[in-house]
Amino acid sequence: MAGIIALTMPKFGLAMTEGKVASWTIPEGAMVEVGQEIADIETTKITNGYESPIKGMLRRHVAAEQQELPVGALIAVIADASVPDSDIDAFIVAFEAEFASGHTQEQAEAVPEPLSVDVDGRAIRYLENGREHAGRPIVLIHGFGGDLNNWMFTQPGLAEDHWVIALDLPGHGGSSKDVGAGDLAALSAVVAGLLTTLDIPQAHLVGHSLGGAVALRMALDTPDRVASLSLISPASFGDEIDGSFITGFIAAGRRKELQPVLQKLFKNKSLVSRDMADDLLKYKRLDGVAAALGTVAAANFANGRQQEILHGRLAELSGLPVQIIWGDADEIIPVGHVKNLPAGIVMHVLADAGHMPQMEKAAEVNRLIADLVATGGARS
Amino acid sequence: MSKKSYRAAINEALRQEMRRDPTIVLMGEDIAGGAGAPGEQDAWGGVLGVTKGLLGEFGRERIIDTPLSESAYIGAAAGAAATGLRPVAELMFVDFVGVCFDQIFNQAAKFRYMFGGNARTPLVIRAMYGAGFRAASQHSQCLYPLFTHIPGLKVVLPSSAYEAKGLLIQSIRDDDPVIFLENKVQYDEVEEVPDEAYTIPFGEANLTREGRDVTIVAFGRMVKIANEAADRLEKQGISCTVLDPRTVSPLDTNTILECVEETGRLVIIDEASPRCNMATDVSALVAQEAFGALKAPIRMVCPPHVPVPFAPNLEDLYVPNADRVEAAVRAVMGFKAKELA
């Protein structure tokens, strides 16, 4: 049954085992383009748009709206209009029989697990995929209070064509809670140290928020190691920041205190689920996290102002492909304070996105990163 | 992060804290492997294997097998706590507490107060509770209401593996006597538990789900049963909040009252004998503080007031289950006040 394409339940993040189609945005029988959003997929943690991986006619919604399905289960079928309905029916029956037998299920579960490596005396956790692709890796650096799961929509998409590594900064996720001075110099030295440990001379850096400032600082300190810079809602472009986010994040000990703080991160407040808050509370309860967050906050955001402004040093990056990506509804770091960018640095402002455009506008962000990586490939 | 059993989570908490703090010692019957016995050491790790593997790392100075005398070693642990160590004593079955009431209720619980605030007693007593283990009435009681009754004791009821590790580390670091009760039916239940040490504060209830219609307060193992019932009720269009108090002393009364004020209906599920248990305590709290918010009478799902039966079919009838919780929730949803004449 050539020409029939199975669309399956995607896996968003390490912990996702099942999800449901919250709603179909494209009806049966309609033509879809590559990258066109065709459904909203809901998990206990988050809801995200599902994009068609292929151009064609959306012949069948296999998943009913609100039906819980395991990762890898068939949700829809794309095929040319000429394929008879009976072939589609047979395809669905065959796929589901094979899936039920556990064969494809095992494939869906064969996703990489995070690894931990010693970097200059600190355990650093990272998740690597797409290792089979040639070229320099893309390294994803999260922001304050985040971890590698912040890239749950970024990493799988980019890994289809690229080697991608997401790490947990010190004090965050599954990495050592020893942050040293906790400033940009200390954090960027750890990122550089991880690349050295993994025997990676040069990488494309993608940094979000504080992680953006870390990436920028690394490009300034060790320009030879950076092939391109994609900075998403980055810190260090001005001194403004919503200090109440930082203090609120540190202080919150209960879900109902943390949820309103997390809602500041998103334009669409309903993305902040109970599970998202619970996971962060579990992280905040780990030994050493309170001290680590306090040190990082004091070093970078004392008194509700950003402490290290690198904006004036952008000209030093001449020749390096650099782009900046920002949500127009960012409540944490205002997009408006980015002014006077040197020629050659492109600023992309995405509509209807808050401080986490890589989650709210994942497809656009992935495309922008892939495009810049393609241009940065020429650098050596 | 990896999947760990309730048993493994407790073992890991003990191991990590003992590495951190050399003043922590474990005491109990067969927790090492049988004092003085020749042959294999560390064969038991306690009657259900919770402390297995610790002897090899920490040795007999810190993993102390005691004589079969709760009166002696619980008293010794209280004294050691008052004089500089941080003992974790394993009482095995909580049903055995009868022979060391004085050591716990009259001594350990009172030191801070009797010595004008100058004494601290960082003692943890671990014990197993609960029915469903086919262990008969002298090894199946809940008894946490007894400890809750005594000022000066903190009483902890972990409902899952994640909760057990974080609450045990918190218990060990606490400077007052803590009664840490493990449901023996749950030892093999598995969930994601962080590899690193972490703490869960006392007196902060956990809402495992939030709903509009009914608040279900559940203790220890009953949290799982309450969630099972709530899953079924959800499909029938009834949405429940399930509240796990985590600690019954201190008790997070604010969160209980807030939830009841939001839903207007309360069902309490408690595996302890029905007279003077946590269900009656929470009922009294809500009746006094939130009566105006109630749309229906409070319902309690508890066992009958009899010793836990040894006959398996009777024991299964004894322990509260999801069917009974579901029926209680449906009853409070269906309640109609009598029309005024």
Give the domain range for residue B254.
206-334
Tally: H helices and E strands in chain B = 12, 14
Token reading at A117:
């490596």
Q: Are B181 and B320 within one domain?
A: no
- The domain total for chain B is 2
Q: Are B36 and B142 within one domain?
A: yes
Mutation to test the B interface, candidates A256, A278, A287, most B Cβ within 10 Å: A287
Q: Are B102 and B33 within one domain?
A: yes
Closest CA to A70 of A7, A149, A11: A11
Would you state the pLDDT for residue A376? Answer: 64
DSSP state of B94: G
Token reading at A298:
């004091």
Q: Are B187 and B61 within one domain?
A: yes
Residue A350, beta-bridge partner list: A327
Q: Identify the three-state secondary structure at position B164.
A: helix
- Would you call B198 and A282 a contact, using CB atoms and an 8 Å cutoff? yes
Search chain B and give the residue with CA nearest A176.
B196
The answer to the question of residue B311 being in a domain is yes
Q: Say how far apart CA A143 and CA A265 lie, in whole Å.
A: 11
- Would you call A286 and B207 a contact, using CB atoms and an 8 Å cutoff? no
Question: Which residue among B137, B167, B193 closes a domain?
Answer: B193
- Would you call B162 and A282 a contact, using CB atoms and an 8 Å cutoff? yes
State the distance between the two ends of chain A, measured CA to CA, in whole angstroms. 45
Q: Are B118 and B256 within one domain?
A: no
Given phi > 0 = left and psi -120 to 50 = alpha, else beta, which region is B99?
A: alpha
Q: So where are chain A's domains?
A: 4-109, 115-376
CATH of the domain at B296: 3.40.50.920
Question: Which residue among B163, B193, B223 closes a domain?
Answer: B193
The answer to the question of residue B201 being in a domain is no
CB-CB neighbors (< 8 A) of B196 in chain A? 174, 286-287
Search chain B and give the residue with CA nearest A115.
B1
Q: What is the pTM of this model?
A: 0.88
Q: Are B26 and B149 within one domain?
A: yes
- Would you call B204 and A174 a contact, using CB atoms and an 8 Å cutoff? no
CB-CB neighbors (< 8 A) of B198 in chain A? 282, 285-287
**What kind of architecture, by CATH, is found in domain A115-376?**
3-Layer(aba) Sandwich (3.40)
The answer to the question of residue B200 being in a domain is no
CA atoms within 13 A on the CB side of A52: 23
Q: Chain B: nearest CA to A288, how far in angstroms? A: 9
Mutation to test the A interface, candidates B1, B200, B231, B239, most A Cβ within 10 Å: B1
The answer to the question of residue B43 being in a domain is yes
DSSP state of A377: T
The answer to the question of residue B219 being in a domain is yes
pLDDT in tens, chain B (341 residues): 789 999 999 999 999 999 999 999 999 998 886 545 555 565 578 888 899 889 889 998 999 999 999 999 999 999 999 999 999 999 999 999 999 999 999 999 999 999 999 999 999 999 999 999 999 999 999 999 999 999 999 999 999 999 999 999 999 999 999 999 999 999 999 999 999 999 999 999 999 999 999 999 999 999 999 999 999 999 999 999 999 999 999 999 999 999 999 999 999 999 999 999 999 999 999 999 999 999 999 999 999 999 999 999 999 999 999 999 999 999 999 988 765 54
Helix, strand, coil share (%) of chain B residues, nearest 5: 40, 20, 40
User: Which CATH number, 3.40.50.300, 2.60.120.380, 1.10.287.3510, 2.40.50.100, labels domain A4-109?
Assistant: 2.40.50.100
Closest CA to B127 of B170, B171, B166, B84: B171
pLDDT in tens, chain A (380 residues): 468 989 998 888 777 888 899 889 999 999 998 888 889 888 877 888 888 888 899 999 999 988 888 988 999 999 998 999 999 999 999 898 888 887 555 555 566 889 999 999 999 999 999 999 989 999 999 999 999 999 999 999 999 999 999 999 999 999 999 999 999 999 999 999 999 999 999 999 999 999 999 999 999 999 999 999 999 999 999 999 999 999 999 999 999 999 999 999 999 999 999 989 999 999 999 999 999 999 999 999 999 999 999 988 999 998 899 999 999 999 999 998 787 888 889 999 999 999 999 999 999 999 999 999 998 654 44
Would you please indicate which residues of B are annotated as catalytic (active-site) residues?
A: 139
Q: Chain A: nearest CA to B63, how far in angstroms? A: 25
Q: Are B132 and B266 within one domain?
A: no
Quick one: how far is CA A301 from the chain centroid?
23
Q: Are B54 and B176 within one domain?
A: yes
- Would you call A287 and B194 a contact, using CB atoms and an 8 Å cutoff? no
CA atoms within 13 A on the CB side of A148: 27
Q: Are B159 and B11 within one domain?
A: yes
Q: Are B121 and B244 within one domain?
A: no
B residues 164-203 lying closer than 8 A (beta carbon) to A: 166, 192, 194, 196-201
Query: Considering CB atoms only, which of B192, B200, B210 is closest to A285?
Result: B200
Query: Considering CB atoms only, which of A174, A253, A287 is closest to B201?
Result: A253
Q: Are B51 and B169 within one domain?
A: yes
Would you state the pLDDT for residue B42? Answer: 56
Assess B162–A contact: CB distance below 8 Å, yes or no.
yes
- Would you call B194 and A253 a contact, using CB atoms and an 8 Å cutoff? no
**Side chain identity, residue A326:** W
Q: Say how far apart CA A214 and CA A234 lie, in whole Å.
A: 9
Residues in Cβ contact with A341 at an 8 Å cutoff, skipping those fewer than 6 apart: A314, A324, A347
